[in-house]
């Protein structure tokens, strides 16, 4: 489970004298650790998502506190706790303005309070949450890949507060590869942390994991705004702050009513996400429940009957192209994507309509069909859909 800064603050403010003085909008940041940051040089050791604590002992005067806050913010820290006392009498107004403007939480702790107590409280919460996260992540991953072995995930999910009577839904999102404008290395890590925090804030019990360049998302009691809308908002926000970029392919499985069916929803989400990739449908979320005829074909994925049907309907045209060096199969695909319209196909291929008509007649001759008949069109359309599914 991710530790949200708001939760850490709520857990400690009733025990210790700590006050949020700026940047409330950033309380949804995820926190991974705590770090003492007494000088600007120390900020280079921050890796992101830490709470930075400072007494100002290494600063020449409090006027340099803004510079320290700016460097800490640029290192993707979750927030800053400032100990006011002999070194920092008062937090300068420009620091408060900076925190408020950038959604960077700034907390004030008076000198009489032992900051070590707050740091210990934070680290204990972080440690316990990380333990829980590892156990839940492992259990959910087992539910995805070993659905027929409930002993590998049910007891652990129940122990961590998940209920059998809840409904569950799995989504899979894949970012484009670096060659296609995606990200890698440090950028991917920042993006993953950003999206993990955002999605966990959207739904407290959601589980977000990475699998290569995929994000696997388990949402609980799926209701309210569709995940696609939530994701698109976060994606645009991430692009605005240059945390994520490029494109993505996304798919959602059906909502299931028992833990034992989480694996079923995951398999469906994987299927529709890969279908979107093969169709080249970037940044378009596909819900398994809205796939229409694809749903029937996806249920037969991997079975020889699909390949046999494809070969029966389009095999002769594929063979003709191979022998004669033509591209009539690709032309037919464009023709169908254009709604079987002569003018639309001609425009799509920058071709004269007479040439389109000629190719259609040639295809009808090879396949021994009439493309004016709805049933024949349906057969061919299904064959192309099978090719999309089988890649």
160-164, 258-262, 291-295, 377-381: the lowest-pLDDT one? 291-295
User: What is the per-residue DSSP string for 255-282?
Assistant: -BSSGGGHHHHHHHHHHHHHHHHHHT-T
32 and 102 Cβ atoms separated by less than 8 Å: no
**CATH class for the domain made up of 163-291:** alpha beta
pLDDT reported for residue 15 = 85
According to DSSP, the residues that pair with 217 across neighbouring strands are: 171, 208
Alpha-carbon span 35 to 14, nearest angstrom:
22
End-to-end CA distance of the chain: 36
Distance CA 300, CA 304 (A): 9
What is the Cα–Cα distance from 385 to 291, expressed in whole angstroms?
Answer: 11
- Are 70 and 43 spatial neighbours (Cβ–Cβ below 8 Å)? no
Overall average pLDDT of the 34-61 stretch: 89
SS3 label, residue 356: helix
User: Could you give the angle at the alpha carbon of 180 between the alpha carbons of 179 and 186, nearest 5°?
Assistant: 65
Instruction: Give, in words, the CATH class of 3-122.
Output: alpha beta
Question: Going by DSSP bridges, is the β-strand pair 79-84/33-36 parallel, antiparallel, or unpaired?
Answer: unpaired
pLDDT at position 3: 82
Question: Which range among 64-68, 212-216, 219-223 has the greatest average pLDDT?
Answer: 64-68
Q: What is the pLDDT of residue 120?
A: 92
Q: In whole angstroms, what separates CA 346 from the centre of its chain?
A: 39
Across-strand partners of 170?
218
pLDDT tens-digit series, residues 233-288 = 777 777 765 666 667 888 999 999 999 999 999 999 998 998 888 888 888 888 88
DSSP letter (8 states) at residue 82: E
- Write out the H or E segment, with its range, that includes residue 22: strand 19-22
User: What average pLDDT does the chain have?
Assistant: 86
How much is the pTM?
0.71
User: From CA 79, how far away is CA 90, in angstroms rounded?
Assistant: 18
Distance CA 22, CA 388 (A): 52
What average pLDDT score do residues 209-214 get? Answer: 84
Phi, psi angle pair for 38, to nearest 5°: -95, -20
Half-sphere exposure of 366 (CA within 13 A, CB side): 22
204 within 8 A of 211, measured Cβ to Cβ: no
Domain spans in the chain, listed from the N-terminal domain onward: 3-122, 163-291, 304-390
Question: What residue spans of 227-324 are helical by DSSP H?
Answer: 227-240, 262-279, 293-299, 304-324
Across 302-314, b (16+ Cβ under 10 Å) vs e yields: eeeebeebbeebb
Greater confidence (60 vs 327) lies with: 327
CATH of 304-390, one of 3.30.460.80, 1.10.10.2840, 1.20.1540.10, 3.40.50.880: 1.10.10.2840
- What is the rounded distance in angstroms from the CA atom of residue 48 to the CA atom of residue 189? 10
Distances (CA, A) of 135 to 95, 200, 262: 39, 17, 17
Confidence class for position 181, pLDDT limits 50, 70, 90: very low
Specify the pairing of strand 207-211 against strand 79-84: unpaired
Q: What is the pLDDT of residues 353-385, one digit of tens each?
A: 999 899 999 999 999 999 989 898 888 888 888
190 φ/ψ angles, rounded to the nearest 5 degrees: -65, -40
């Amino acid at each position: 489970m991710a530790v949200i800064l708001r939760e850490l603050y709520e857990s400690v403010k009733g025990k210790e004298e700590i006050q949020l003085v700026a940047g409330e909008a950033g309380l949804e940041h995820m926190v991974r650790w705590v770090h003492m940051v007494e000088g600007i040089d120390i900020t280079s050791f921050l890796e992101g998502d830490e709470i930075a604590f400072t007494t100002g002992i290494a600063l020449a005067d409090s006027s340099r506190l803004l510079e320290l806050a700016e460097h800490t913010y640029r290192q993707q820290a979750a927030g800053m706790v400032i100990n006011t006392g002999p070194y920092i009498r008062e937090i300068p107004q420009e620091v408060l303005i900076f925190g408020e403007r950038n959604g960077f939480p700034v907390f004030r702790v008076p000198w009489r309070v032992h900051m070590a107590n707050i740091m210990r409280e934070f680290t204990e919460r972080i440690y316990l949450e990380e333990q829980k996260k590892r156990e839940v992540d492992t259990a959910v991953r087992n539910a995805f890949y070993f659905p027929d072995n409930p002993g590998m995930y049910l007891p652990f999910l129940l122990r961590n507060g998940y209920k059998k009577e809840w409904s569950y839904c799995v989504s899979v999102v894949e970012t484009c590869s670096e060659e296609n404008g995606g990200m890698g290395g440090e950028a991917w890590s920042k993006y993953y942390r950003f999206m993990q925090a955002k999605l966990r804030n959207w739904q407290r019990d959601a589980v977000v994991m990475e699998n290569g360049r995929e994000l696997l998302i388990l949402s609980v009691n799926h209701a309210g705004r569709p995940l696609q809308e939530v994701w698109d908002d976060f994606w645009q926000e991430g692009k605005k702050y240059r945390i994520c970029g490029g494109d993505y392919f996304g798919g959602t499985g059906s909502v299931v009513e028992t833990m034992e069916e989480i694996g079923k929803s995951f398999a469906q989400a994987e299927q529709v996400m890969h279908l979107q990739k093969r169709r080249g449908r970037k940044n378009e979320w596909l819900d398994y429940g809205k796939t229409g005829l694809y749903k029937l074909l996806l249920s037969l994925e991997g079975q020889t009957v699909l390949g046999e049907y494809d070969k029966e309907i389009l095999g002769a045209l594929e063979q003709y192209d191979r022998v004669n060096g033509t591209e009539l199969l690709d032309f037919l695909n464009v023709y169908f994507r254009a709604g079987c319209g002569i003018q639309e196909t001609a425009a799509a291929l920058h071709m004269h309509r007479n040439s389109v008509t000629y190719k259609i007649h040639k295809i009808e001759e090879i396949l021994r069909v009439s493309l004016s008949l709805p049933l024949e069109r349906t057969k061919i359309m299904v064959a192309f859909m099978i090719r999309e599914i089988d890649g």
